[in-house]
Amino acid sequence: MSWSSDGMNLAYMSTYDGDWDVYNVNVFGGVSLLTDSPSVDALPAWAPDGSGLAFISNRDGSWGIYLMRADGSEQRKIIDLGTQHHNWTSERLSWGP
């Protein structure tokens, strides 16, 4: 889980739809699905300015760190982590200024 810097949004990962995806819940109500791929999308971390999130995924057959806008658009891989990523569920991403 990761709170946005303004404290208004909480990004989290869930298997609610059958595979790991990233969701956002706003404190005033409403849950949004931010990723929707049949692979793992997980470990969301808000940008310090709240403009977007980082997350890990293996959607292209190789693990990587991805960025997306706060609404889930413009998802793109920025770092390749290789094909093996054991114990990812015990890890955490963080994004500092």
Encode pLDDT of 36-91 as tens digits. 999 999 999 999 999 999 999 999 999 999 999 999 999 999 999 988 877 888 88
| Count: domains in the chain | 1
Residue 96 tokens read as: 């500092």
Would you say residue 68 lies in a domain? yes
Residue pair 44/57 in contact by the 8 Å Cβ criterion: no
Would you say residue 78 lies in a domain? yes
pTM above 0.85, yes or no: yes
The boundaries of the domain holding residue 50 are 2-90
Taking 80 as the threshold, does the pLDDT of residue 22 lie above it?
Answer: yes
Share in percent of the chain as helix, strand, coil (round to 5): 5, 45, 55
Would you say residue 59 lies in a domain? yes
Confidence of residue 31 (pLDDT cuts 50, 70, 90): very high
Rounded distance, CA 65 to CA 85, Å? Answer: 12
